[in-house]
Amino acid sequence: MDIKTIMVVGAGQMGSGIAQVAAQTGYQVILHDIKDEFVNKGFNTINKNLTRNVSKGRITEQEKEDILSRIKLTVNLEDAKEADFVIEAASENMEIKSKIFKTLDKVTSKEVILASNTSSLPITEIAAVTDRPEQVIGMHFMNPVPVMKLVEVIRGLATTDEVYQVVEELAKQMGKTPVEVNDFPGFVSNRILLPMINEAIYAVYEGVATPEAIDQVMKLGMNHPMGPLELADFIGLDTCLSIMEILHEGLGDSKYRPCPLLRKYVKAGWLGRKTGRGFYVYE
């Protein structure tokens, strides 16, 4: 497949990061979201990241302008008809994703591969709403996308070897390291990471130690670059809760039960960095 234009559906933290990396590696990018303000916010984030790269001497001002010129903004999902490849990075909600994939299936050419950046929802279920389940695949980037090297490439039940190979090659073209994963709740990354974060929250809940102490133990004792509670705030506590619920429901094991303190913080609107308060307070 000759991929020249990539559409990214969703201009939030993940979508704008994916769009930036795709444009940096020479692809034409169509960045989509449901409102102009969301698309513009995503574009401004990319601009800010690239400006930082210019100030650090990683790229020139001209290279920055060239990258930005390859990004087209839209609020019309039907613009997907111009794309050779689509990566969906919308909210982690099956209803929203299913609706997007139904539309993409109708408007894109039949040979176009539809990828989802879902962090935990089943690819097989997303693929089932389309007439091309063999061309639907998971492409789970890590946050922040421009920095992190890993992409989990998740095969649905019907995904063909040819489609897998195209996506693996695309990930490499984008400077990422693809790792093949089968379609199970949470895949590998979140199935291992989120129960660790959840256990750290239980340790706070049960009064074992303060968030600061728990994070120090994991950073100094286990050589983690960020403590689990710092990381939870960075990911967003609402996202952490959503993934734990998917793991609990999908695998049916009580070890995946979300900590009551996590639920309490989410209900209070203490979602971490994005709201200024989670396990830590952010100015």
Q: Please report which helix (H) or strand (E) contains residue 126, including its range.
A: helix 123-127
Confidence (pLDDT) at 189 = 95
Question: Does a structural domain hold residue 146?
Answer: yes
131 and 37, same structural domain? yes
Measure the CA dihedral 185/188/194/197, to 10°: 160
Per the CB < 8 A criterion, the answer to whether 86 and 104 are in contact is yes
Residues 178 and 197 in one domain: no
Q: Is residue 283 part of a domain?
A: no
Could you confirm whether 119 is annotated as catalytic?
Answer: yes
Q: How many CB atoms lie within 10 A of CB 282?
A: 11
Number of independent structural domains in the chain: 2
pLDDT number for residue 1:
73
Pair (90, 229) in one structural domain: no
Query: What per-residue confidence (pLDDT) applies to 252?
Result: 95
Determine, yes or no, domain membership for 125. Answer: yes
CA proximity to 137, closest of 117, 122, 115: 115
Encode pLDDT of 86-138 as tens digits: 999 999 899 999 999 999 999 999 999 999 999 989 999 999 999 999 999 99
The one catalytic residue in 16, 32, 117, 152 is 152
Q: Is 10 annotated as contributing to ligand binding?
A: yes
> Does 33 count as an annotated binding residue?
yes
* CATH number of 85's domain: 3.40.50.720
119 in a labelled binding site: yes
Residue-level pLDDT at 273:
95
175 and 241 together in one domain: no
Is 109 marked within a binding site? no
Let me know whether 52 and 157 are in one domain. yes
Q: Is there a domain that residue 196 lies in?
A: yes
For residues 223 and 261, what is the distance between their CA atoms, to the nearest angstrom? 26
Task: Supply the mean pLDDT for the chain.
Answer: 97
Q: Are 165 and 212 in contact (CB under 8 A)?
A: no
- Indicate if the pLDDT at residue 175 is higher than 80: yes
Query: With 80 as the cut, is the pLDDT of residue 256 above it?
Result: yes
The yes-or-no answer on residue 152 being catalytic is yes
Q: What is the mean pLDDT of residues 237-247?
A: 95
> Which residue among 182, 215, 231 closes a domain?
182
Same domain, 164 and 269: no
Shared domain check, 210 and 168? no
pLDDT, mean of residues 37-53: 97
* Average pLDDT of the segment spanning 164-187: 97
pTM of the shown model:
0.92
Q: What is the pLDDT, as a whole number, of residue 266? A: 98
92 annotated to bind ligand? yes
Residues 15 and 153 in one domain: yes
Arithmetic mean of pLDDT, 183-199: 96
Instruction: Give a yes or no: residue 29 inside a domain.
Output: yes
Query: Given pLDDT bands bounded at 50, 70 and 90, which one contains residue 283?
Result: confident
Domain shared by 9 and 91, yes or no: yes
Is 13 marked within a binding site?
yes
Confidence at 56, pLDDT banded by 50, 70, 90: very high
pLDDT of residue 229: 98
pLDDT band at 166 (very low <50, low <70, confident <90, very high): very high
- The pLDDT of residue 279 is 98
Mean pLDDT confidence for 2-8: 96
| Same-domain pairing of 172 and 93 | yes
Among 166, 182, 198, the domain-final residue is 182
Q: Does residue 143 lie in a domain region?
A: yes
Q: Which of 49, 53, 116, 190 is catalytic?
A: 190
Give the strand pairing for 113-116 and 136-141.
Answer: parallel
Task: Name the helix (H) or strand (E) containing 139.
Answer: strand 136-141
- Which range marks the domain in which residue 119 is found? 5-182
281 in any annotated domain:
no
274 annotated as a binding-site residue = yes
The reply to whether 14 sits in an annotated binding site is yes
Tell me the backbone φ, ψ of residue 178, rounded to 5 degrees: -80, 140
Is 120 assigned a ligand-binding role in the annotation? no
The domain that holds 244 is classified in CATH as: 1.10.1040.10
Q: Find the catalytic residue in 119, 120, 198, 242.
A: 119
User: Could you tell me the two tokens for 121?
Assistant: 């929802």
Do 44 and 122 sit in the same domain of this protein? Answer: yes
Q: Is residue 282 part of a domain?
A: no
Q: Are residues 36 and 132 in the same domain?
A: yes
Q: Decide which of 133, 155, 182 is a domain's last residue.
A: 182
